[in-house]
C-alpha cells in the first residue's frame, strides 16, 4: 500500500528537513492581539530505511515553533536530539525498542531493554526553558529560542515518568502532573511543581498494570479515568512483545475513576462500566458533584488498531470517541452520562486555559460529520454547554486539521480568542497554519499562512505570549 491509498496518508510522511523562515504567503489578516510563540510536538519521522514504524507513537519527536510577531509569522522546526534520534539517524535503521518497535535480533536482543525516549508527545514552558514531553520517561529540556536540545530533566532524580498532559492551576500557578511506573506493582505517581520545586505526592498502587494518558485538575483533586487497558509486563520485559503488543482490553473489568487529593490525602476509587479515554477537555466541582468532559471510547479496540495502521488506516468512525459529560455525585458515587452532538471521531478537546479546573461554557474539538464512516477528522466544533449548541468549521474536501489550540484575546468573555490549528492540504501536500475566530468558529478563517512544505500530523502544543 502506498501513502496515496487515502488522501490523508501523505500527512504522515516524515519531514526530514529542518527549516527556519518567515512565512511569505498569508491569506487574510493575523490579529494585532495575536503575539507570542506557539510550540507543537509530535512524530516528525515515521519512516526509516524505507520502512514505516509499526506504530504512530514510535515516531521521533519534532518541535515546530510558530512565532507570531509584528513582522509576521516565522516557522522553525527541530528534532529533539534524543539518544534514539541520534543513534537511528546515524545507523539508518531501527536500533531501539519503542511503543511498537522491536530491536532487530529477536527475543535476546529485546529482553530487559526498555523503550527509548522519543520525546514526541507534548511541550511545556517551564521558566526560561521548553520541556519536550513523552509518556514513558522524563522530559527533555530545550532552548525555546533555538530549539536546541539541552538534555534530559529528571528533577533531581525525583521522577521516572512525566506525563505529556500537565495541568496548571490558572489562579495559583501550580503545575500538576503524573507518571505511571511499572514494576512488581504498577503505581501512579502524582507530582506538584511550584516555584521550581517539584514535590512528589503519595503514590497510588493500582490493582493491575495499565496505560493512562491524561487527567483532570479540579479545585480539590487530580482525577483519572483508568480504563481496563491492561499490560502484560512480563511478556514485554522478556522481549516477547512490544509495549503495544503487550496491551490488551479487558472489558469485563471496570473503569476506575481515581480521585487524588491535591493536598496529598488518601485517594478514592469509584468504579463504573468499562470505557477508554485518551483526552479530557476539562473538569470541575459544583454542588457536591464532579463534572468531567472527555472523549469517551467504548473500548480500546478500534483506536488501538488505527494507531498501529495510522498511515494506511481508513480511520473508521464506528468505535471511535464521542464527547461525553460525566456527572459524579461525590457523596454516593452515582454517575450520570450525557453525549453531545459533535458528530463522530471526537478527539483533542481543548478549552480556554484560564478555565482549567473551573466551570467552563465552551470546548473546541476535532470531529467528523455524523454520516461520515471513515477518514481522519475534517471539522472543528465549538460546543456551547450552556446553550446546548454546536458550531462547526469544515476544512473539506482536502483539509485535515490537527489539535486546536485556544489563544486568548484580552477581554472578559470566555471565548474571546483565536483558535490556531495546523491543517494538512491533501491536494497540495502542504500544511497551512490557520487561525479561526473562537467566537465565530464557523466563519471564514482570520488567516491561513501557507507553509512551504507539509508538517507531519503532530500531537500537542502550548502557547506563550513571549516572542522567541
- 428: which residues sit within 8 A by CB, 6+ positions away? 398
Give residue-wise pLDDT tens across range 296-323.
999 999 999 999 999 999 999 999 999 9
Q: How far apart are CA 407 and CA 282, in angstroms?
A: 16
The tens-digit pLDDT sequence of the chain (468 residues) is: 444 579 999 999 999 999 999 999 999 999 999 999 999 999 999 999 999 999 999 999 999 999 999 999 999 999 999 999 999 999 999 999 999 999 999 999 999 999 999 999 999 999 999 999 999 999 999 999 999 999 999 999 999 999 999 999 999 999 999 999 998 899 999 999 998 899 999 999 999 999 999 999 999 999 999 999 999 989 999 999 999 999 999 999 999 999 999 998 999 999 999 999 999 999 999 999 999 999 999 999 999 999 999 999 999 999 999 999 999 999 999 999 999 999 999 999 999 999 999 999 999 999 999 999 999 999 999 999 999 999 999 999 999 999 999 999 988 899 999 999 999 999 999 999 999 999 999 999 999 999 999 999 999 999 999 999
C-alpha span between 325 and 302 (Å, rounded): 21
CA nearest to 457, candidates 69, 6, 10, 1: 10
Domain 9-464: give its CATH superfamily.
TolB, C-terminal domain (2.120.10.30)
Whole-model pTM?
0.97
Q: Are 365 and 347 contacting, i.e. CB atoms less than 8 angstroms apart?
A: yes
Exposed, middle or buried, 129 (CB in 10 Å: 0-12/13-18/19+)?
middle
Cell 470517541 found at:
321
340 CB-near residues (< 8 Å, 6+ apart): 322, 323, 324, 325, 383, 390
Amino acid at each position: 500500500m502506498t501513502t496515496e491509498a487515502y488522501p490523508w496518508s501523505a500527512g504522515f510522511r516524515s519531514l526530514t528537513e529542518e527549516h527556519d523562515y518567515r512565512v511569505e504567503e498569508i491569506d487574510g489578516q493575523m490579529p494585532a492581539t495575536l503575539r507570542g510563540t506557539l510550540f507543537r510536538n509530535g512524530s516528525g519521522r515515521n519512516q526509516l530505511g524505507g520502512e514505516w514504524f509499526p506504530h504512530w507513537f514510535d515516531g521521533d519527536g519534532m518541535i515546530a515553533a510558530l512565532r507570531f510577531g509584528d513582522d509576521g509569522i516565522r516557522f522553525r522546526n527541530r528534532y529533539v536530539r534524543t539518544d534514539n534520534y541520534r543513534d537511528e539517524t546515524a545507523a539508518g535503521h531501527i536500533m531501539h525498542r519503542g511503543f511498537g518497535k522491536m530491536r532487530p535480533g529477536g527475543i535476546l536482543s529485546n529482553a530487559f531493554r526498555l523503550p527509548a525516549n522519543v520525546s514526541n508527545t507534548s511541550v511545556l514552558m517551564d521558566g526560561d526553558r521548553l520541556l519536550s514531553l513523552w509518556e514513558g520517561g522524563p522530559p527533555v529540556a530545550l532552548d525555546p529560542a533555538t530549539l536546541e536540545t539541552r538534555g534530559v530533566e529528571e528533577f533531581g532524580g525525583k521522577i521516572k515518568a512525566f506525563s505529556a498532559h500537565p495541568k496548571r492551576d490558572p489562579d495559583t500557578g501550580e503545575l500538576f502532573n503524573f507518571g505511571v511506573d511499572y514494576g512488581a506493582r504498577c503505581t501512579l505517581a502524582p507530582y506538584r511543581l511550584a516555584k521550581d520545586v517539584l514535590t512528589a505526592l503519595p503514590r497510588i498502587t493500582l490493582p493491575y498494570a495499565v496505560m493512562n494518558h491524561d487527567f483532570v485538575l479540579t479545585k480539590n483533586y487530580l482525577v483519572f479515568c483508568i480504563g481496563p487497558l491492561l499490560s502484560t509486563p512480563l511478556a514485554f520485559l522478556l522481549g516477547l512483545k512490544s509495549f503495544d503488543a503487550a496491551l490488551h482490553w479487558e472489558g469485563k473489568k471496570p473503569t476506575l475513576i481515581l480521585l487524588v487529593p491535591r493536598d496529598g490525602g488518601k485517594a478514592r476509587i469509584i468504579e463504573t462500566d468499562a470505557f477508554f479515554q485518551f483526552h479530557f477537555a476539562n473538569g470541575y466541582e459544583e454542588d457536591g458533584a464532579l463534572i468531567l468532559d472527555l472523549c469517551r471510547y467504548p473500548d480500546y479496540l478500534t483506536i488501538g488498531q488505527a494507531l498501529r495502521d495510522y498511515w494506511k488506516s481508513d480511520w473508521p468512525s464506528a468505535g471511535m470517541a464521542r464527547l461525553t459529560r460525566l456527572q459524579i455525585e461525590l457523596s454516593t458515587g452515582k454517575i450520570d452520562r450525557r453525549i453531545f452532538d459533535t458528530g463522530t471521531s471526537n478527539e483533542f478537546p481543548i478549552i480556554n486555559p484560564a478555565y482549567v479546573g473551573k466551570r467552563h461554557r465552551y470546548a473546541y474539538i476535532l470531529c467528523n460529520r455524523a454520516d461520515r464512516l471513515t477518514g481522519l477528522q475534517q471539522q472543528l466544533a465549538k460546543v456551547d454547554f450552556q446553550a446546548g449548541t454546536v458550531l462547526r468549521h469544515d476544512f473539506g474536501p482536502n483539509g485535515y486539521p490537527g489539535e486546536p489550540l485556544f489563544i486568548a484575546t484580552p477581554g472578559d468573555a470566555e471565548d474571546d480568542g483565536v483558535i490556531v490549528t495546523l491543517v494538512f492540504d491533501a491536494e497540495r501536500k502542504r500544511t497551512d497554519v490557520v487561525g479561526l475566530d473562537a467566537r465565530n468558529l464557523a466563519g471564514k478563517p482570520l488567516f491561513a499562512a501557507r507553509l512551504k512544505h507539509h508538517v507531519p500530523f503532530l500531537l500537542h502544543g502550548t502557547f506563550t505570549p513571549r516572542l522567541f
